[in-house]
Structure 1
Amino acid sequence: MTPKTIVGIGSALVDILVQLEDDQLLNTFQLPKGSMTLVDAPLSQKILDSTEGLERSIETGGSAANTVRAIAQLGGSAGFIGKISNDPMGHFFKDEFEKNRIVPHLFYSQIPTGKAATLISPDSERTFGTYLGAASELSVDELSQELFSNYDYLHIEGYLVFNHALIEGVLKLAKKQGLKIALDLASFNVVEANLDFLKGLIAEYVDIVFANEEEAKAYTGLEPKAALKQIASQCEIAVVKISRDGSLIQAGDQFVKVETPQVKSIDTTGAGDVYASGFLYGLANGFSLENCGKLASLLASKVIQVFGARIPDEELQLIKQEVDAFKG
């Protein structure tokens, strides 16, 4: 079969990854551990100023951006829709995507490119203080139906649900072009704040839902297996990730439980994003549901062994050899 193409839409951000010595800074800035909290520009700068002297690095970020980057690393055909500024952070984002052979559908704003203070606790959990910047100005009026015409799947990060008009408008455009829609619920506090809106979106537009245990519970009020069943009744494929216990997948009457490789976790940044990469790459290449889940878990296990959300280049050749075993 000819592999299908995937486009992601989300916040074009630059992640500033900071290794914390303890969780005191999270308490100081009232950032719930493990969550994504939107902050304004002054607070974003205060958080980063407070981390001076700690180990840090930068890389492209944003949930959907992480997902399409890993799809491209696997050799998949991917594009990304987002908004940046004509500033150093925006140039960094665009250059990195072009280097990774991702088709950039980027729009420009007068305000700075968004950035996320990615605070990594000693137990490897990550907490985001996110200044959306230019990403917050992406408007459905800038998009056209033709933008989606070369793609088969649209992957949306749940963080976009803060902009109801944008996400609903994007879904209508993509559906008119016949794309399958995948949605990652993103964070438990995002789900809690937009529950009714999310339920309506999923029922009307979404084909594939990714959630972790906390997000699934926020969405349904249920434990993982029951939550999976309820979500699967609203879409074609539901996935609930249960950390070290693997993931649960349901499509209609078909149920699959996938174990995850047991590895030492250093940083969970991007684990869910690259899980979605593996799963969508598998779907685009005709893999079975079980093998989609196995590839997704493999990628997630690789990315949590390094700082940041990028699969290390030195791992790619080994991963691609394993991908060949999942085909068919």
Structure 2
Amino acid sequence: MPAVLGIGNALADIISVLEDDTVLTQFGLPRGSMTLVDAELSRKIFEATRYNKQEITTGGSAANTVHTLAALGGHCGYLGKIGNDALGTAFRKEFEQKNIKTHLLLSQKDTGRVMALVSPDSERTMATFLGAAADLKPEELDRGIFSEYAILYIEGYLVQDHRLIETAVDLAREEGLKIAIDLSSFNVVEANLEFLKKLISEKVDIVFANEEEALAFTGKSPEEALGDIASMCELAVVKVGKQGSFIQRGDEKVKVGIIPATAVDTTGAGDNYAAGFLFGVTQGYSLEKCGKIAALVSGKVVEVMGAKIPESSWLGILQTVEAMED
């Protein structure tokens, strides 16, 4: 089975349940967005939410994807940068326990963290202090790392560092890897639009976007946006929340629905979708089956706090995937 290498910001997720959106207004955080903050603002948000219901886990978008991919039975690795601190140690340990190969570089800075703020309607807004994660330099990437993999999966949050992304993509392509990218957040897309358009049209094979990201990228509605993105790469996916997702490869188009789910927290829904879909791709499944596996795991994760599906759910998920027709 081909292996997937995820590259992204290695972060600790601190998930807090909000009683209302006052904290978002107080700190100027657009609802549903990801905003980069410095250490001081991150600390202030933590202080303002410390008495809310809270959960701390390892995270980062590509890290979440790789975790779920491994749980599905996929072969995968993870490339990122952590601090030489307790959060960094916990990050490495959690990956090794899941038999995920780690390529974790060390920084003098603290391990990065995300304040994930969950509104009463389960929408999540993220304030991210990158810390060590932002210390990953293009010069530190070794072509040899990529030689063990078939697909490089990039989280869109890395796109702030254009040179890092280009270096990773070029090294991976030299080793014959396919390139997959998740656009991650509409404000990231808006801030890096020209770079992303050039990168995707020239060097990317698979693109994941949600409705807002697709709109920011193309200025069009989901189905029209799907056609535009699919014309730039090999395979395009546009997720439309409760309406499911649209998938296109060449002239082949598929619409996949969602599973019934009671949303508690949407953190990690997109990350898990990408994991399910990429697992299907590495298995050589049809687009429809890839989409159904993606819908299954993204539906399961929104029913719990945080970006990871609990261990107790996995047996049922794996049995459901096994029973799916291709």
Pairwise TM-score range, normalised by the shorter structure:
over 0.9
User: RMSD of the alignment, in Å?
Assistant: 0.7
What is the correspondence of 1:144-293 to structure 2 with a 5 Å cutoff? Answer: 144-293=142-291
Q: Is the 8 A contact 1:244 1:262 kept in 2?
A: no
Per the alignment, residue 126 of structure 2 pairs with 128
Q: Tell me how far 1:323 sits from its aligned partner.
A: 1.5
Q: Tell me how far 1:14 sits from its aligned partner.
A: 0.2
Matched residues in 1 for 2:141 and 2:325: separation?
35
Per-residue CA shift, 1:226-253, capped at 9, x if unaligned? 0000000000000000000000000000
3-state SS, counterpart of residue 147 of structure 1: helix
Gaps of 5+ in 2: none
3-state SS, counterpart of residue 263 of structure 1: coil
What is the correspondence of 1:28-107 to structure 2 with a 5 Å cutoff? Answer: 28-107=26-105
3-state SS, counterpart of residue 57 of structure 1: strand
Q: Percent identity?
A: 56
TM-score (norm 1): 0.98
Per-residue CA shift, 1:290-310, capped at 9, x if unaligned? 000000000000000000000
The residue identity in structure 2 corresponding to 1:283 is V
Per the alignment, residue 21 of structure 1 pairs with 19
Per-residue CA shift, 1:11-42, capped at 9, x if unaligned? 00000000111000000000000000000000
Q: Tell me how far 1:262 sits from its aligned partner.
A: 2.4
TM-score (norm 2): 0.99
Q: 1:133 to 1:245 in 2, by over 3 A?
A: same
Q: Tell me how far 1:130 sits from its aligned partner.
A: 0.1
Q: 1:79 to 1:259 in 2, by over 3 A?
A: same
3-state SS, counterpart of residue 186 of structure 1: coil
3-state SS, counterpart of residue 50 of structure 1: helix
Q: Tell me how far 1:325 sits from its aligned partner.
A: 2.4
1:109 aligns with 2:125: no
Per-residue CA shift, 1:238-283, capped at 9, x if unaligned? 0000000000000000000001012110000000000000000000
Per-residue CA shift, 1:52-86, capped at 9, x if unaligned? 21110111110000000000111111100000011
3-state SS, counterpart of residue 258 of structure 2: coil
Q: Tell me how far 1:140 sits from its aligned partner.
A: 1.5
> After TM superposition, where is structure 1 displaced by more than 3 Å over at least 4 residues in a row?
none
Matched residues in 1 for 2:325 and 2:114: separation?
36
Matched residues in 2 for 1:325 and 1:73: separation?
17
Q: Is the 8 A contact 1:158 1:184 kept in 2?
A: yes
The residue identity in structure 2 corresponding to 1:230 is D
Q: Tell me how far 1:327 sits from its aligned partner.
A: 6.2
1:309 aligns with 2:275: no
Matched residues in 2 for 1:113 and 1:306: separation?
25
Matched residues in 2 for 1:145 and 1:107: separation?
15
The residue identity in structure 1 corresponding to 2:145 is L
